[in-house]
Every structure is written in C-alpha cells, then in structure tokens.
Homo-oligomer: A and B are copies of this chain.
Amino acid sequence: MDLGTVFAALADASRRRVVAELAADPGGRERACGSFDLPVKKATRTHHFRVLRDAGLITQRDHGNGSTVALRRDDIERHLPGLLALLVAEPRPATGPRDGAPHSTDPAPTAP
C-alpha cells in the first residue's frame, strides 16, 4: 500500500471513476467489471483494473465469463483515511449517458 502507487493509480480519470463509483455505494457491494461506463476498449479496461488491483485499491473475483470488483474500503480507510471521500466528492464533468454513439460493450467494427 504505497502512496506513490496509489496516487499514480488515481491520476487517471477512468480509474478514479471506478473507485469513486465503488466508494459511493454505501453497501460496499461487488460490481460487475462491465458495469462501468468507461470510454475505453476492453483491453484497456482490463489494464485499468490491474493497476487498481496492484495499487491495493480493489479486489477482483473471476467468475469464468464475467468478473467482479470490490473496493478494499477497510484497508484504504485504515491506511489512507479520507482518501475515498475526496474521490466521491470530486465534481464529475457529465455523469449522464454518453450522447455520441449509444454505447455497446466493444463496438463499431466498421467492416468485419
């Protein structure tokens, strides 16, 4: 649980968003990895989850096909009290749905 690694992980907007959404849920429930509306392709999403995992911010469970993530809230609050509050309080540019192309999961193969 290194501060440098944590800050580096949270320097990216997509990763910050994931942690913020997890932290905003008071129940601390698991969430499907695909349930985050990130503006990146599948491979990049996998990469981001890996970075968050290596930073010690989330745990990930593999279910064969889908996988789920959970916030390591207790560890974070113990070592870095108040950090999650900063993320939850961050003003988001536009929480609403994207307007460009209606989002599918990994879309737009222009000519397969």
Contact = CB atoms under 8 A, between A and B. Distances in A.
Interface residues of A, number: 17
Given A7-B16, A81-B86, 10 more contacts: A3-B16, A3-B87, A3-B90, A4-B11, A4-B12, A7-B8, A80-B86, A82-B82, A82-B83, A82-B86
Interface in A75-99: 80-83, 85-87, 90
Interface of A: 3-4, 7-8, 10-13, 16, 80-83, 85-87, 90
Dominant SS among interface residues on chain A: helix
A10 B6 CA distance: 10
A2 B77 CA distance: 22
A3 B15 CA distance: 12
A87 B4 CA distance: 10
Given A80-B86, A82-B85, A10 B7 contact: yes
